[in-house]
Amino acid sequence: MKVRQGPARAALLSTLVSVVVVGVTASAASAAATPPYEPDAGAAGSITFYDAAGTAITSGTTSTPVGYAVGSAPLTATGSKASLYGYLPKSGQAPGAFSGELLAGPTTFPIAGAPAAISGSSNPAVQPVAGDLTFADLTHDFPNTATDAYQGLYQIRIKTSDAKYLATDIQISGSTWIQVYPAPSGTATTTTLAVSPAAATPGQTETLTATVGPAAAAGTVQFSDGSTALGAPVAVSGGTATKTVTLAAGAHSLTAAFLPTDSAAYAPSTSAVRSYAVRTATSLTLAKPVSAVIAGQSFRVSGAMKGGAVSGKRVVLYLYGDHQAVKTAALTTSSTGAFSYLIRGVVNTSFRAVFSATATQAAATSNTVRTLVRTAVTITSPKSGTQTRTRTVAITGKIYPNHPGGIVNLYERRGTSYVLIARARVASNSTFRFVRTFARGTHVLQVRIGATSTNAAGNSSLVSLREL
């Protein structure tokens, strides 16, 4: 019986023995991909795995130890004992520097009483016994967190006292292992994975469908989320296997691994990783700001986010003008999901907030709110209080924001009411001009512009003119 060795002690074994376990990369389409570090110069041959009955196997479950592991070649050193080790490959490290641990052995070989395929070989061989470590133990003790071509890879070696060792690569997906190097001799298979619906919210069920080719290949499919098996393997029927699951909120890396019933006839294969997100529905609501502001005046746009964790989220506020969205600000929500932004000197009048999807929350777009900008009308000449004897006076001024071609109206106050006395068109530079003849006396004048689809009406200040 073997005592499990922790990573610190097991790291010392990196110069001893090895078999390789290869994990799924995001682009892997089958189990035939060659690990980045193969061929390994330290290996004198490969390993064949057998079940307890002596049948060669190229796949299995990680929690069940193989029946036997037999090398393909003899080693030169004297001795008749061999052991099985497992290692964690890492990018940038040579195989001799990998860390790992003892899985099984030592076993005296040839193994007496073993099936003929094993006992008849004089090559190094190991027979795991009760209490020895499994591939599941190896992945527990040395978790593989790589996201590159080394994702999920492990190296398992058979070693005697010789400097050389024997090695075979396998691929682990969830609770399933698959031999990938040397590639199994059976007919190659492919496994693809589909997930529906395309996006889900927490509590919603998802359907995983694996399609195995050729369709005649018999076996099972193990669905996994990262290194976690999603229940028991599912039998393949007519080239497909289906499983219904309920995934938790967050990001998921889903795979489907096909294990053939007859590994001599068909090779195992694993689907590409399918990235899938379960996101909480969110919503954004903008409150209606002030109905109209003077052009250039500051005002505040406020809103709130709902759905899932709402504190500290990034919300982007856009303003719309001339049918184009312009990013105004990236805001951070409060602990209650509230956010606001002070708008300064903006002519555009429509606003909308957008929340981009995260691993756990769906995207959301708010309602559109609108604030009319009250047009600023300024009489630049004459100044209020001006006295003149010219009778004919030019009244000039400026409009903001620009209303080229718009109509401005000149009013005179008479008693308690205002009387329209002239109209003029706004020039391309936003200016206007009236020329009027006034009788002797005091005249109180005001220039007004009407409302448009984007701007509220605007009035100038009163200007007092005295004709002597």
For residue 101, what pLDDT band results from cuts at 50, 70 and 90? very high
CB atoms within 10 A of CB 219: 21
CB atoms within 10 A of CB 323: 6
Query: In the CATH scheme, what is the code of domain 375-467?
Result: 2.60.40.10
441/318 Cα distance (integer angstroms): 52
Q: Residue 6: is its pLDDT beyond 60?
A: no
For residue 296, what pLDDT band results from cuts at 50, 70 and 90? low
pLDDT given for residue 182 in this prediction = 85
Superfamily of domain covering 283-373: Immunoglobulins (2.60.40.10)
Query: For 54-81, what is the mean pLDDT?
Result: 86
CB atoms within 10 A of CB 378: 15
133 three-class SS: coil
Residue 348: which of 324, 315, 316, 378 has the closest Cα? 324
Domains 190-277 and 283-373 share a fold: yes
Q: Residue 340: is its pLDDT beyond 70?
A: yes
Locate the domains of the chain by residue range: 7-181, 190-277, 283-373, 375-467
pLDDT given for residue 1 in this prediction = 41
Length of the chain: 468
Q: Residue 24: is its pLDDT beyond 50?
A: no
- Cβ neighbours of residue 3 closer than 8 Å, sequence gap 6 or more: none
For residue 78, what pLDDT band results from cuts at 50, 70 and 90? low
- Which of 95-104, 126-135, 324-333, 369-378 is least confident? 324-333
What confidence tens digit (pLDDT) does each residue in 132-151 have?
A: 999 999 999 998 888 788 88
pLDDT given for residue 411 in this prediction = 97
Residue 191: which of 138, 246, 268 has the closest Cα? 268
- Which of 127-141, 168-182, 402-416 is least confident? 168-182
7 three-class SS: helix
pLDDT given for residue 461 in this prediction = 94
Q: Which residue, chain included where needed, has tokens 């006295």?
A: 387
Q: Residue 77: is its pLDDT beyond 60?
A: yes
Query: For 308-326, what is the mean pLDDT?
Result: 77
What confidence tens digit (pLDDT) does each residue in 416-455 have?
A: 999 999 999 999 988 999 999 999 999 999 999 988 766 7
- Please give the structure tokens belonging to residue 32: 């035939």
Cross-sheet strand order for the sheet of 292-294: 292-294, 372-374, 455-456
pLDDT given for residue 100 in this prediction = 94
Superfamily of domain covering 190-277: Immunoglobulins (2.60.40.10)
What confidence tens digit (pLDDT) does each residue in 211-249 have?
A: 999 999 999 999 999 878 899 999 999 999 999 999 998
What confidence tens digit (pLDDT) does each residue in 381-412 have?
A: 999 998 988 889 999 999 887 777 789 999 99
CB atoms within 10 A of CB 277: 17
pLDDT given for residue 435 in this prediction = 95
Q: Are 115 and 54 in contact (CB under 8 A)?
A: yes
